[in-house]
Amino acid sequence: MLEYPNTFPFPNEIINGWNARLKGSELKLLLVVVRQTLGWVIDQETGMRKEEDWITYNQLREKTGLSTQPLSSAIDSLVGYELIQVRSLDGRLLDTPYKRQLEGRRRGSFIYRLNLTVLKTSSHYFENKSSTVLKTKNNKINSIQNKTLQNIYTAYKEKINNRSRLTGAAKRKIVTRLETYSEKELLKAIDNFSKDYWWVEKNAHRGIAWFFHTDDRIEGFIHMKPRSGKDTHKDWNQPKEGKYEKYKK
């Protein structure tokens, strides 16, 4: 009998089905969750293994080797596929990115567990090579993200610069900021900026990618008190008067 030390039970469904369908970052995260749960025996007599584990965000980054953005995306995907569940330390289910963002600011760590029910019954996910169920979940996640992006873009155009375009760089910047801030907070940053005549006059032309460039910039816009003045976002969106127009009789 071949024996190898330091091993633990591993669900066949992950290798036989999900392995070919998950992105590399998603599989890395799933492997860590399996190791942190099924990889630990909590009762030597019965052989009972852990069902869940408390893991900090920094621990996940270290164990997966992933940076913040791909790690957050992997968590969102695995929760969306119902392969893992994420809960707060007091037991609340954190089943949306927004709930995890709020809880992350409070504590920065969650309880992770495998959804064994889905794993044990996941064979039906792979009966059709088109992976209809998986595509449906992917489409649902993308639909939510696209709606949020569109809401933010629309607010930016209406309140800051109606000539701005949602470029690829702009999309990436917004998605990155959504890892730290909620949609509501980003909309507040846009609103505050639009009410400050100096920021509008000096920076409204810089574009969306500039606006969402860093968390620090958004933090400043969220908490600033707009300065009132004669210039508003409406002035920016209108054709400017010629340089010497005011001197004409």
Higher pLDDT, 18 or 33: 33
Residue written as tokens 């949602």?
A: 166
Sign of torsion over alpha carbons 54, 58, 60, 62: negative
3-state secondary structure (DSSP) of residue 175: helix
DSSP one-letter code for 139: H
CB 84 within 8 A of CB 112: yes
Stretch 132-156: mean pLDDT = 72
* Annotation: CATH topology of 12-126: Arc Repressor Mutant, subunit A (1.10.10)
Structure confidence at residue 102 as a pLDDT band (50, 70, 90): confident
pTM here is: 0.52
For CATH 1.10.10, the residue range(s) in the chain are: 12-126
Instruction: Report helix, strand and coil shares of the chain as percent, to nearest 5.
Output: 60, 10, 35
Percent of the chain with pLDDT over 70: 80
Percent of the chain with pLDDT over 90: 35
